[in-house]
């Protein structure tokens, strides 16, 4: 139900504006809800050179908090680096 309300709210929205909103407003909220251990484990796999794939039912702009280009040392308020994405995303 939650995802459907998000999809309805942003149907026809400008993708660039939605991405900007996610980057500026939603990223901190999304990352603060993530388990620090989960972020740490993702970072460990990426640091080891493993390809990591995020499988989710949310629209791609909402995965932007996980696409950072650096590997921060703090598990909170951090963005693990994305090394692969699903075809067509």
Among the listed residues 60, 51, 43, the one whose alpha carbon sits nearest the alpha carbon of residue 3 = 60
| Cβ contact 52:66 at 8 Å | no
Per-residue confidence (pLDDT) for residue 68, from 0 to 100? 60
Write out the two tokens for 7.
């999809």
pLDDT digit string (tens) for 7-61?
788 788 888 998 999 999 999 998 899 899 988 998 899 999 999 888 888 888 8
pLDDT, average across residues 52-71: 77
Q: How far is the C-alpha of 17 from the C-alpha of 66, rounded, in Å?
A: 18
CA angle 33, 84, 1 (to 5 degrees): 40
**What pLDDT sits at residue 74?**
35
Helical ranges in 10-81 per DSSP H: 15-21, 27-33, 36-47
Proportion of the chain in helix, strand, coil states, percent, rounded to 5: 50, 0, 45
Q: Is the pTM of this model over 0.75?
A: no
């Amino acid at each position: 139900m939650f995802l459907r309300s998000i999809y309805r709210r942003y149907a026809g929205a400008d993708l660039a504006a939605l991405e900007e909103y996610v980057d500026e407003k939603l990223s901190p909220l999304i990352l603060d809800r993530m388990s620090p251990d989960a972020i740490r484990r993702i970072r460990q796999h990426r640091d080891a050179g493993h390809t990591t794939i995020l499988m989710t039912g949310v629209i791609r702009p909402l995965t932007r908090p996980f696409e950072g280009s650096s590997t921060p040392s703090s598990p909170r308020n951090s963005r693990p680096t994305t090394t692969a994405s699903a075809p067509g995303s």
